[in-house]
């Protein structure tokens, strides 16, 4: 019975997309009914797979999307004039400084790779 009331309440919350300030007294009472019961924690049990997946998704911190094998923050010293030129070029190309450096490094490595002798 308690689970059925809880599911009905959850369905009403999801179905009702109006802000709480616009809900009627009856809607608010229905929404708050599950919290008016004593010892509500006794009705909780282990999470099922769907609830666990939702919990992990909500708990996970937001961040940059992973590209390739991920990224690593490094500290590189670069001459100020060269850095200004790089920043201007990156802005003109519509990319970040890090992206410009990564593209440049990738192109240099690809152009030199065939010339590098490989170990047998």
What is the DSSP-derived secondary structure letter of residue 67? -
Domains in the chain: boundaries:
2-45, 80-115
Measure the CA–CA gap between 82 and 74, rounded to whole angstroms.
Answer: 18
| Arithmetic mean of pLDDT, 100-113 | 92
Cβ contact 68:106 at 8 Å: no
Residues 6 or more apart whose CB falls under 8 angstroms from that of 101 comprise 86
pTM of the model: 0.44
Q: How far apart are CA 49 and CA 98, in angstroms?
A: 39
Q: pLDDT of 13-64, one tens digit each?
A: 455 568 888 889 998 888 888 777 777 677 778 889 999 999 888 888 777 7
């Amino acid at each position: 019975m308690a689970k059925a009331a809880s599911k009905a309440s959850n369905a009403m919350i999801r179905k009702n997309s109006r802000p709480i300030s616009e809900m009627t007294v009856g809607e608010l009472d229905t929404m708050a009914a599950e919290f008016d019961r004593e010892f509500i924690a006794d009705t909780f049990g282990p999470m099922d797979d769907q609830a666990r997946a939702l919990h992990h998704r909500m708990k996970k911190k937001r961040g940059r999307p992973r590209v390739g094998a991920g990224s690593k923050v490094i500290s590189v010293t670069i001459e100020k004039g060269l850095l200004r030129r790089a920043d201007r070029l990156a802005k003109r190309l519509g990319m970040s400084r890090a992206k410009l450096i990564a593209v440049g490094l990738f192109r240099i490595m690809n152009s030199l790779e065939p010339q590098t002798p490989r170990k047998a």
